[in-house]
Amino acid sequence: MSKRRTPLAPTEVATGGILAGLSIALGLAGTVIPVLSIFFTIGSTIPIAMITAHMRPRASLGTALITILMSLAVGGIQSAQTVAQAVAVGLVVGYLARKEAHRAFVYGAALLLGIAGGALTWLLLLVLSESRNLVLESLRTTTNGYIALIGKIPALAPQTDAVQAIINTWIEHWYYWIPPLGGLGICVLTLVAHWLTMKVLRRITITAPWDPLVDTANRECTDAPTTPDPFPISLRDVTFTYPGSDTPALRGITLDISDGFTVIAGPNGSGKSTLSLVLAGAQPTSGHVIRPGDVGLGDEAGTAVVAQRSELQFLGDTVAEDIAWGMNDDERASLDLPELLHTVGLEGLEDASPRRLSGGQLQRLSLAGALARKPRVLISDESTAMIDSRGRRELLEVLHALPALGTSVIHITHDATEASSADRLIRLRDGHIDASDAPDLLEDTYSQFTPVIERSIAAPQPYQGGSIDHLWVKNVGHAYDVGSPWENTVLSDVSFIVSPGQALLITGENGSGKSTLARILTGLMRPTWGECTLGGDPVSLRVGDVGLARQFARLQLQRPTVAKDILAAAKVGAAVGSSDSTRRHRGASSTLVDSDQLVAEALAEVGLPGDLASRNVDDLSGGQMRRVALAGVLASHPKVLVLDEPFAGLDVESRRLLSDVLRKRRADGLGLIVISHDTDELIDLVDNHLHLAQGVIR
């Protein structure tokens, strides 16, 4: 097998483009503002050094070339020369950082680069006579201007002629001092840039996150192209362990999957999404995966994946562009877009921006993009989790119809209803197969896995103590793109009040304006008209007092590990450069709270083990992410908590635990606003129920 070098990954292209643009902007600023040129030049080296330090040589060299060419096109020769100097220094500095070079090597490299830079300066000025004359004349004009200003001072006027004669002599003998001075500048620039680069690299990383499916695509690029043939699939004693983890996410998985509608079910954290990665082509830690041919991930007649977090999957500026992303002209011509949009329930939204779609609509868009490639097998990782009841039924009907059209479906879920309709049910627990057969043959054991949530007999009592901070929404309305032809009103005259200890349920179908209302309630977005106040103050001035548990939990997790994210959400040790590990709880006693204890208590409150604190947030399942995000919000002790689709993506046990947590917090005075498309399991948790339809409370 002859191995070929793989092309630049999308992450490399995107990162290189962004940092190249930053380097160009700083270089141009140095040309426009000569007084600050040295500072902008130093800044221009850092992005190139970061690319060189952490990415392949091909990526760094490509970025360097694009940076120089773009600076030449935008700013001309002078800007290109400045940027080229910064690029050369950045490449050297990045290489030194990549090799973790000793200080002596850094000084030696700076000296050699300075000598080379000085020699190159001398050679260019010697050969390019017109450029040399231009540079020297510019220097002479600048110094004459300064001398003229000095000459206006009576005490210094007699010396100006002598000074001007000396400067003219220096300019005439430029070859004695300009090359050495230029070399010294490059040497100093290299040392300062290396120092700054190391400071930056200690704080951030630009390496591409580990992605087992990207690794799969790269492996297939090493061979000659073949026709995808991913199905049927057999797994033999497969184990999968995430990098940096000691505990396998899958253990001893042996199974065969053939045509039809197959459901993989299990509680949050059981390994469902990990198994879907292996089925999509991820290389297991041990064991064997047997297929007739290549996975063909993303290829026509290959494997398609509709992932759990659809908000991370769209690429196009419009629905139509996103669906056709990556297709060639022939594939676009053969695509029946209206029929496809009708199939997934997005008809009439060809020109809509994905950024304006609700969570359920984004799920449908992801499914449409997958079906556009006519895959042999479709892996649906909880694709129905964020959709209302009617939309869920419609999507399941689409998925059930696909096997008859030649696309086998592997559907990941924790919903007993969805599992019962499968041709075959594979149940996971703690990373291994608990049972595998037709759903009707597993009815008894499956009911043990999906216990029924018992309804609470007594509703939480209203909060009786403490200060009264009412959340008052008065005639709130909101429109996007106001004043443009694309103005879109999503909320109109919404009004209600939530007092401490009270709970309100707001329901509505996907696209009714629920998520926009959630952002207004938390102060993250100001309404176009109307008022939203907490205790008489605009919520935009009290950001943090109204907490938000987002529908898409991954967008809320901002730190690399569970513990750091909870502490950051609770505003403990989150400040850059802060070494304090304790803080006073807002509204609590004056005793100091230990960070480790805070994290442990926060995790325990949402039913997660304490050893999860050290886990990387990207290694969590979707349900675990939602609970970690909620733990962080609760640890910040908000006055009111807004939950956007709180039960989406959670198994039955997690839903029951969340309900208990919210009831307890209500008794302690927390106001609740639950935004959802379903009323099941939520009516007994709240005092009042409002329905939002087309932006209006009904």
So what's the pLDDT on residue 207? Answer: 58
Please name the fold of domain 471-573+593-697.
Rossmann fold (3.40.50)
Among 186-190, 610-614, 685-689, the range with the most confident prediction by mean pLDDT is 186-190
Q: What is the mean pLDDT of residues 398-406?
A: 86
pLDDT at 226 over 70: no
pLDDT at 593 over 70: no
pLDDT interval class at 211 (50, 70, 90) = confident
Average pLDDT value for the chain? 81
So what's the pLDDT on residue 572? Answer: 74
Residue identified by tokens 């050893």 is 611
Is 82:31 a contact under the CB 8 Å cutoff? Answer: yes
pLDDT interval class at 179 (50, 70, 90) = confident
Q: What six digits make up the tokens of 488?
A: 């879109």
For residue 546, list its beta bridge partners. 543, 640
Q: What is the mean pLDDT of residues 239-256?
A: 86
Compute the residue count for the chain: 698
The fraction of the chain above a pLDDT of 70, given in percent, is 86
Asked if 228-433 and 471-573+593-697 have one fold, the answer is yes
Of 343-357, 384-398, 437-451, 577-591, where does mean pLDDT reach its minimum?
Answer: 577-591
Q: Mention the CATH class of domain 228-433.
A: alpha beta
The fraction of the chain above a pLDDT of 90, given in percent, is 16
3-state helix/strand/coil string of 1-55:
CCCCCCCCCHHHHHHHHHHHHHHHHHHHHHHHCHHHHHHHHHHHHHHHHHHHHHC
So what's the pLDDT on residue 192? Answer: 92
So what's the pLDDT on residue 174? Answer: 83
Assessment of whether the complete model's pTM goes beyond 0.75: no
So what's the pLDDT on residue 238? Answer: 93
pLDDT interval class at 571 (50, 70, 90) = confident
pLDDT at 458 over 70: no
Could you state, in order of their start, the residue ranges of all structural domains in the chain? Answer: 10-204, 228-433, 471-573+593-697
pLDDT at 385 over 60: yes
Task: Spell out a b/e string for 16-51, using b for 16 or more CB atoms within 10 Å of the CB, else e.
Answer: beebbebbbbbbbbbbeeeeeeeebbbbbbbbbbbb
- Whole-number Å distance between alpha carbons of 197 and 217: 32
- Whole-number Å distance between alpha carbons of 18 and 32: 21
Dihedral of CA 320/326/329/331: which sign? negative
Backbone phi and psi for residue 295, each to the nearest 5 degrees, phi listed first: -65, -40
pLDDT at 591 over 80: no
Dihedral of CA 595/598/602/604: which sign? positive
Query: Strand, coil or helix: what is 254?
Result: strand
Backbone phi and psi for residue 298, each to the nearest 5 degrees, phi listed first: 85, 0
Is 379:306 a contact under the CB 8 Å cutoff? Answer: yes
Query: Residues 540-569: pLDDT tens digits?
Result: 888 888 988 887 788 788 888 898 889 888
Q: What is the mean pLDDT of residues 458-469?
A: 50
So what's the pLDDT on residue 420? Answer: 75
What is the CB neighbour count within 10 angstroms for residue 260?
Answer: 14
Q: Which of 12, 220, 311, 382 is catalytic?
A: 382
Task: Please indicate whether residue 339 is annotated as part of the active site.
Answer: no
Query: Residues 50-97: pLDDT tens digits?
Result: 999 888 888 899 999 999 999 988 888 878 888 998 999 999 999 999
Query: Residues 287-296: pLDDT tens digits?
Result: 999 999 888 8
- Residue 677 CB partners (closer than 8 Å, separation 6+): 360, 387, 388, 389, 391, 507, 508, 509, 510, 514, 645
Of 159-163, 396-400, 544-548, where does mean pLDDT reach its minimum?
Answer: 159-163
pLDDT at 159 over 90: no
505, 511, 523, 522: which is closest to 480 by C-alpha? 511
So what's the pLDDT on residue 454? Answer: 41
Q: What is the mean pLDDT of residues 656-684?
A: 83
Of 161-170, 438-447, 612-621, where does mean pLDDT reach its minimum?
Answer: 438-447
Q: What is the mean pLDDT of residues 210-237?
A: 70
Q: Are strands 640-644 and 377-381 parallel, antiparallel or unpaired?
A: unpaired
